[in-house]
């Protein structure tokens, strides 16, 4: 009896011990899951989003992308800031400055510039050149950077004494932003190698993405439409502007895309759609090598003759628009070679109000021209100083566009008169 009792007691003790072990393991697993639910989960989510969307999967094999995830998760990652730094290190081997982590402040500012009407900062749109130097794509009109004489093509060497090479593109842009009234010291170099320091005061910059007016001379009335960037509201504002110009009976249109560094690609495509009738706008090439042509609808908001002004600050979505107009022979391009940014980013949310931008595709013009690193070549190059006040009476680029449009309209009038005379002769 005692023997049976002892065996039963031993069995119960073993079961209890096993339950304790299982319960302990379960607790450990819960703790591990909890650990992955915060800062480490942020890193894993970023890796997964890039793994699923990045446009060049061959790069993953080259950099051993899965091994990078493993090594990154072995790091000490206990805070959000450590997670952001780990993600930056993880993305660096991909060598794509446009695929980047966006800390909460940067994420909010980027969303504001895409969907809002103003932004706090110095008014610089930045990119990287082939040597990974931080380069000015364009300056926003009326911004501290424009007033200081910073131009497209200049390089940002330091921000508050810290090298832009050390900071990288995303952190350089982040350090330039800030509360209105605060100052930032920027060392700028020109393409010729001249270096200078500029003390800039941050302020709220009114983006005013769409501006329009009517230009009149003795013979013709021409509409002037300037788009400074492609935010969410732009397509509707452009529709309204074109209707306003049509109500004023303009005969031709000057579309000014100078220093428009892009924005929402969908907005640029929507504007092209309003100027083209059943024509290809752009082709996109994703990670599978598939090219999808986007075709415009039949209805247009303006079908008169056009000239489109571009310069070296014309980039991304504005190059899509300019390329679609040029390739479809809808508009003459006039000005300078454009910047050459032909990559499309998708913006994804991460935890704690942060985000990640991922390059998901490249785009080609309707005739298959690759814009990335090359840009658009104007039909008519303008070897003239660019204006400091776009669209003003002193803007020689606009004056050249006016004269060219005038010559087009004169030819149209001659053609119409000839047709009318022929009709009279045929009737007689």
The catalytic site residues sit at 316, 327, 341
**Residue in 343, 363, 349, 372 with CA at minimum distance from that of residue 98:** 343
Using CA atoms, how far apart are residues 20 and 24, in angstroms rounded to an integer?
Answer: 6
Residue 267 contacts residue 281 (beta carbons within 8 Å): no
**Residue in 71, 86, 94, 66 with CA at minimum distance from that of residue 287:** 94
Using CA atoms, how far apart are residues 188 and 156, in angstroms rounded to an integer?
Answer: 5
Adjacent-strand bridge partners of 285: 291, 362
- Show the tokens assigned to 192: 């010729």
Residue 226 contacts residue 256 (beta carbons within 8 Å): yes
Adjacent-strand bridge partners of 162: 159
Using CA atoms, how far apart are residues 89 and 98, in angstroms rounded to an integer?
Answer: 14
Using CA atoms, how far apart are residues 114 and 106, in angstroms rounded to an integer?
Answer: 12
Using CA atoms, how far apart are residues 113 and 143, in angstroms rounded to an integer?
Answer: 14
Instruction: Pinpoint the alpha helices (H) of 231-360.
Output: 234-247, 265-275, 317-327
**Residue in 232, 197, 233, 228 with CA at minimum distance from that of residue 211:** 228
Distances (CA, A) of 266 to 133, 294, 408: 28, 11, 31
Residue 105 contacts residue 127 (beta carbons within 8 Å): no
Please report which helix (H) or strand (E) contains residue 34, including its range.
helix 2-36
């Amino acid at each position: 009896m005692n023997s049976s009792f002892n065996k039963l007691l031993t069995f119960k003790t073993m079961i209890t011990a096993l339950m304790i072990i299982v319960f302990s393991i379960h607790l450990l697993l819960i703790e591990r899951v909890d650990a992955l639910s915060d800062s480490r989960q942020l890193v894993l989510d970023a890796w997964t989003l890039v793994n699923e969307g990045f446009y060049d999967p061959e790069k993953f094999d080259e950099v051993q992308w899965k091994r990078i995830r493993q090594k990154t998760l072995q790091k000490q990652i206990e805070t959000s800031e450590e997670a952001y730094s780990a993600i930056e290190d993880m993305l660096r081997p991909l060598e794509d400055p446009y695929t980047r982590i966006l800390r909460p402040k940067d994420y909010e500012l980027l969303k504001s510039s895409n969907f809002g009407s103003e932004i706090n900062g110095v008014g610089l749109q930045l990119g990287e050149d082939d040597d990974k130097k931080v380069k000015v794509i364009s300056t926003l009109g009326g911004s501290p950077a424009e007033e200081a004489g910073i131009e497209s093509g200049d390089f940002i060497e330091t921000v508050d004494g810290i090298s832009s090479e050390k900071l990288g593109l995303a952190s350089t842009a982040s350090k330039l932003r800030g509360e209105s009234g605060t100052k930032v010291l920027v060392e700028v170099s020109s393409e010729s190698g001249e270096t200078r320091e500029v003390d800039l005061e941050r302020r709220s910059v009114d983006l005013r993405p769409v501006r329009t007016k009517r230009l009149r001379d003795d013979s013709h009335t021409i509409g002037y439409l300037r788009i400074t960037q492609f935010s969410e509201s732009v397509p509707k504002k452009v529709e309204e502007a074109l209707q306003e110009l049509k109500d004023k009976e303009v005969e031709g249109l000057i579309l000014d895309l100078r220093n428009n560094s892009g924005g929402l690609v969908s907005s640029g495509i929507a504007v092209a759609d309003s100027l083209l009738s059943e024509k290809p706008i752009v082709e996109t090439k994703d990670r599978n090598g598939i090219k999808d042509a986007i075709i415009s609808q039949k209805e247009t908001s303006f079908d008169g003759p056009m000239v489109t002004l571009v310069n070296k600050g014309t980039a991304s979505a504005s190059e899509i628009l300019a390329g679609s107009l040029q390739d479809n022979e809808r508009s003459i391009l006039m000005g300078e070679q454009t910047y050459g940014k032909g990559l499309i980013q998708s913006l994804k949310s991460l935890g704690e109000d942060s985000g990640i931008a991922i390059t998901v595709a490249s785009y080609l013009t309707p005739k298959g021209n690759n814009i990335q690193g090359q840009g658009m070549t104007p039909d008519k190059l303008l070897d003239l100083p660019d204006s400091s006040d776009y669209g003003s009476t002193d803007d020689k680029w606009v004056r050249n566009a006016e004269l060219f449009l005038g010559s087009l309209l004169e030819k149209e009038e001659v053609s119409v008169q000839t047709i009318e005379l022929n009709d009279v002769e045929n009737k007689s």
